Amino acid sequence: MSKRLYGLIVPLITPFKEDLSLDIDALKWLVEYLVKNNVDAIFPVSTTGEFPSLTNSEKIKIVEVVREYTPTNIKVIAGISSTSLYEAVDLALRFKDLGVDSLISTPPYYYKGNLDGVKRYFRMILDRIEIPLILYTIPQYTGIDIPPELIKELVMEYDDLVGLKATVDSMIYFRKIIQLVKPIKKDFNVYSGIDEYILPLILIGGDGAVSALAHITPNLHKKMIEALFNGELAKANELYNIILDIKRIYDISKSVSGAIKLTLESFNTPIKRFVRPPLTDENLDNIDRIRSILSRYRDKIVLYKED
């Protein structure tokens, strides 16, 4: 069995005030809440965290706060995705100085290039950073997938390439990654960015999840993943189906980031619904619809308080 680096990774939302400035107090609350719920790793400057809408100074401030309020037994994985190779490297070195445990990067997402260009991009990052890196394929946003064969090539060249987050609607893709890469690097970790694939991915040899929904259900995600690795398939399947039912909050929302923020606001946490353009704030009328979806699981969701 491969060595699992993290298990449950939460791609952190970025809390904003009504004027769309960073809400550092809310960020501190959020990190402490996730820490109390024993997530394995926190991933600031993520897609869920609206990283393309952040300035570099804001990214650095966010990572600084997350690292300060996260104990060393919970890992910090900082996002360095960028349209610019040199910006990505600069952020990587700054985050390394702040003490993050690893980094995560998509391919560049404006000039798509070709696969040789993508390979060169990641090689030039890996040659410069000397800290573990997780690749992140999310073709619906970058316009390019990272082929399993390319990942295999890079893994054979770089010890610091330690894992992959894949937000792809394909079990075939996950199967190819596991069959091609794990035989040459058994501790290469493969994570699903889509909740529907967490259970089947782990059953075929994957290593965990990067789940935005785990902001709402960190305990359920953690228990499901632990049950899978312990061979408790009936328990895992029960939790899996609860998670997928709760995921219906996305169906009534404009964006994943907005759905998570509005749900947290509905529980009277310090997090507010505000997102930066081009995303748009969720309608407050949806709070009742979200609470209706979650109400049947009030004994299983840690955010629930007695009314």
Instruction: Identify whether 136 is a catalytic site residue.
Output: yes
Choosing from 14, 33, 47, 197, the catalytic residue is 47
Choosing from 6, 14, 75, 136, the catalytic residue is 136
Instruction: Identify whether 269 is a catalytic site residue.
Output: no
Alpha carbon distance, N-terminus to C-terminus of the chain: 45
Contact predicate 191/9, CB 8 Å: yes
Instruction: Identify whether 47 is a catalytic site residue.
Output: yes
Token digits for 283?
Answer: 């309608």
C-alpha distances (whole Å) from 290 to each of 207, 239, 246 are 30, 19, 9
> What is the CB-side half-sphere exposure of residue 31 using CA atoms within 13 A?
23
Q: What is the 3-state secondary structure (H, E, C) of the chain?
A: CCCCCCCEEEECCCCECCCCCECHHHHHHHHHHHHHCCCCEEECCCCCCCHHHCCHHHHHHHHHHHHHHCCCCCEEEEECCCCCHHHHHHHHHHHHHHCCCEEEECCCCCCCCCHHHHHHHHHHHHHHHCCCEEEEECHHHHCCCCCHHHHHHHHHHCCCEEEEEECCCCHHHHHHHHHHHCCCCCCCEEEECCHHHHHHHHHCCCCEEECHHHHCCHHHHHHHHHHHHCCCHHHHHHHHHHHHHHHHHHHHCCCHHHHHHHHHHHCCCCCCCCCCCCCCCCCCCHHHHHHHHHHCCCCCCCCCCCC
Choosing from 59, 75, 119, 165, the catalytic residue is 165
Catalytic residue ranges:
47, 136, 165
